[in-house]
Amino acid sequence: MTSRPAKPREAARDARAEALVASFERAGYTRLTPAILQPAEPFLDLSGEDIRKRMFLTTDPHGRELCLRPDLTIPVSRDYLASPAAGRAQGFCYLGQVFRHRQDESSEFLQAGIESFGRPDIAAADAEMLALGLDTTAHYGLAAPDISIGDVGLFAALIAALDLAPAWKRRLIKDFNHKTSLAQDLERLTLSAAHARPEYQGVLAALAGSDPKGAHALVTDLLSIAGISAVGGRSVGEIADRFLEQAALGAQTSLPRETRALIERFLAVAGDPDEAAAELRAVAKDGSLKLDAALDLFESRTGFLAARSVDVRRIKFSTAFGRGLDYYTGFVFELHDPAGRAAGQLVAGGRYDGLLTRLGSKKPIPAVGFAAWIERLIACGGAA
């Protein structure tokens, strides 16, 4: 068997990317080389069904769905959980191909990146990721990329602090990553007429004012009298709970205009991190909201960035900035070419504290990381 000799361009590309990963290793990150062929399940489960049409899927003889890895975050996380280091603070780096159907670019491309697990010093770890991301673009000759950052945790803190029905809280949090839905939600919350089924309206209204325990028992009993047992994974108790929650929701008057205005004012906050923090403190004060923990973390992170000699005034923060992926829970960032030579972000990442639990970890493990698009970096930085 002979293998095709690498073309000079590819050799140069690979050498430069190898040098980048070597710098990650020197910074204390252990290199991992996860399998290219991965079980499809975790990607579909964590990234959502929308990723299915961009994935290269296949089936093994036992009917298990496999895919060519569409990213490396999940494979690295899985390898970490399967290793003896699982649960301990440990950082990893990687370089390798990922595979996604793309319209205007090759569907096979190179990514390098870092995943940092188990570090309790959240703000410092966040800042280190952005700093290493900036080192990455600098490695390709782009010292001053556009820096966009956001913090999903701030929005979560805002929603938690608001006096809203649980159903609306879950919905607003979920829709943060889908901006048209969020706008619709706010619209609907403000109008909020009755949205329960008309024939149930009377029953729901009667239940709304009653003792919750008794109402729950009643609905559960009615379901069992009707001979309806649980089908699928939802228990009768869950159904009864939500049925009653809808009753409460129907009875609740609409979202006060001031609250909506507050959410919208919050989402409009943008600027450099210091300005933004000052403005967010003002919003919190005006709305008498307790956002101190989230804002303290935000400011502490900015401090660590400055300490790593990142020019904080160049950072564009926006409360509305999310990365469209549901698994981010805190800090998120993207680095772009100011000249617009690449088809998308050059480096992007963020904090995903919930991911490892969803991959099967018994205890929560904080996690933060980023990925770099090698071909795009080359396109911006000139020669490979």
Partner 1 sequence: MSAPFIIAVPAKGRLQENAARFFSRAGLELIKPRGARDYRGTIAGLPGIEVAFLSATEITELLGQGMVHFGVTGEDLVREMIPDADSKVILIDGLGFGHANVAVAVPQAWIDVYSMADVDDVATAFRLKHNRKLRVATKYINLTRDFFSAHGITDYRIVASSGATEGAPAAGTAELIVDITTTGATLAANALKVVDDGVILRSQANLVAARSALWGESERAAARLVLDRLAAEARGRAFREVRARFAGANKALLGQARERFGIVLPFGDATSSGMVTLHCPPAQVHALATFLREHGAEAVTVADLGYVFARDNHLYAKLEAGLAS
Provide the binding-site residues for partner 1, judged by CB under 8 A: 44-45, 48-50, 52-53, 167, 170-171, 174-175, 177-178, 180-181, 184, 195, 197, 219, 223, 228-234, 236, 238-239, 242-243, 245-246, 326, 357-358
Q: Give the Cα separation of 285 and 291 in Å (integer).
A: 9
Minimum CB distance to partner 1, residue 266 (Å)? 21
Name the minimum Å distance from CB 140 to partner 1: 34
We find the least distance from the C-beta atom of residue 251 to partner 1, in angstroms, to be: 15
State which residue, 90 or 246, has the beta carbon closest to partner 1. Answer: 246
Q: Give 16 or 358: the residue with its C-beta nearer to partner 1.
A: 358
Cβ 216 vs Cβ 243: under 8 Å:
no
Beta carbon of residue 90, minimum distance to partner 1 (angstroms, whole number): 23
The count of residues in the chain is: 384
Q: How far apart are CB 252 and partner 1 at their closest, in Å?
A: 15
Other CB atoms within a 10 A radius of the CB of residue 239 amount to 15
Return all residues near 188 (Cβ < 8 A) that are at least 6 apart: 195
Closest distance of CB 313 from partner 1, Å = 35
Nearer to partner 1, 91 or 250 (CB): 250
> Cβ of residue 139: shortest distance to partner 1, in angstroms?
35
Can you tell me the distance from the alpha carbon of 378 to that of 384, in angstroms, rounded to the nearest whole number?
A: 5
Q: How far apart are CA 183 and CA 192, in angstroms?
A: 14
CB of 5 or CB of 63, closer to partner 1:
63
Between CA 237 and CA 242 the distance in angstroms is 9
Q: Least CB distance from residue 382 to partner 1, whole Å?
A: 37
What is the C-alpha separation between 332 and 325, in angstroms, rounded? 10
Number of H helices, E strands in the chain: 15, 12
Residue whose C-alpha is closest to residue 359's, from 68, 78, 75, 72: 78
Residue (of 154, 194, 191, 186) closest to 168 by Cα position: 186
Nearest to partner 1 of 42, 273 (CB atom): 42
**What is the C-alpha separation between 329 and 152, in angstroms, rounded?**
6
- Report DSSP letters for 3-37, one per residue: PPPPPHHHHHHHHHHHHHHHHHHHTTPEE----SE
Task: Transcribe 181-215 into DSSP letters.
Answer: HHHHHHHHHHH----S-GGGHHHHHHHHTS-HHHH
Residue closer to partner 1 (CB basis): 12 or 167 = 167
Instruction: Considering the complex, state which of residue 169 and residue 281 has its C-beta at the smaller distance from partner 1.
Output: 169
- Rounded to an integer, what distance in angstroms lies between the CA atom of residue 158 and that of residue 206? 32
Shortest Å distance, C-beta 242 to partner 1: 4
